[in-house]
Amino acid sequence: MTLPEIVDSHCHLDFPDFEGELPRIIDAARAAGVRRMVTICTRLKNEPRVRAIAEAHDGVFYAAGTHPMSAAEEPMATLDGLIALAAHPKFVGIGETGLDYHYTADSAEVQKTSLRIHIRAAQESGLPLIIHSRAADDDMAQILTEGFREKPYACVMHCFSSSAELARATLDLGFYLSMSGIATFPKSQELRDIFAAAPLDRILLETDSPYLAPVPYRGKRNEPAYTAFTAKTGAQLFGLTEAEFAAATTANFDRLFRKARVSEAA
């Protein structure tokens, strides 16, 4: 039986957790139907290493930005620098960027500055913005909306686990919500309700691996192959077969990450 294609739209293949195992990790993903994945660079100084992973593996694309939790520790990203990275054929998104006030509220103003630079890069490059948001819903909604009103851009709320209000605000802008393993956790019913209320054509799948492994691997190292378990939960939420849900979320990925589809076809 041919497995339905699933896309892991957000993972971190350069992290030490996968060192020395990448060929096996990628083969396992393909065996589970996860034939494409986007590996995310969270510190721009590591971009060459993340780029090399994408260049070495078919079906692996990449994005880069400054993670909000490290915004105060890293040199400020520049618009020109991000636009230059976007020229690479396998560079498909800007970020992850965003706001995180859970652990790093003291750097809120630096995070906001960094976020606005990444928004401009998404606007100028035409590539989707990849957003990390935690404990910052009001500021996040305000900054994303202000930027969109100045000049529209595409965006995904990665590993969405915020409020229903932020979900509505971003969906109203035409943005996407990405479902991670958190949606499979027994105590995540409120989050599942948010996803179930969203339009099916705005849902993506991801692992955020090596973090947030879905049930039945919760508490263990996550990897792209496990996207299939999150897809199973998503299918149940929308009353679809797993194949139908996989097809829908893959079509959504192709619509948002157009460059990945074009690059693969080339």
Query: Alpha-carbon Rg of the chain, whole angstroms?
Result: 17
CA atoms of 266 and 31, how far apart (whole Å): 23
Annotated binding site for a divalent metal cation: 10, 12, 96, 132, 158, 208
CA atoms of 105 and 169, how far apart (whole Å): 22
Mark 193-217 as b/e (b = at least 16 C-beta within 10 Å): ebbeebebebbbbbbbbbbbbbbeb
Residue pair 127/259 in contact by the 8 Å Cβ criterion: yes
CA atoms of 182 and 218, how far apart (whole Å): 9
Annotated binding site: 10, 12, 96, 132, 158, 208
Identity of residue 157:
M
CA atoms of 250 and 201, how far apart (whole Å): 10
Mark 5-41 as b/e (b = at least 16 C-beta within 10 Å): bbbbbbbbbbbeebeeebeebbeebbebbbbbbbbbb
Residue pair 176/155 in contact by the 8 Å Cβ criterion: yes
Residue pair 155/144 in contact by the 8 Å Cβ criterion: yes
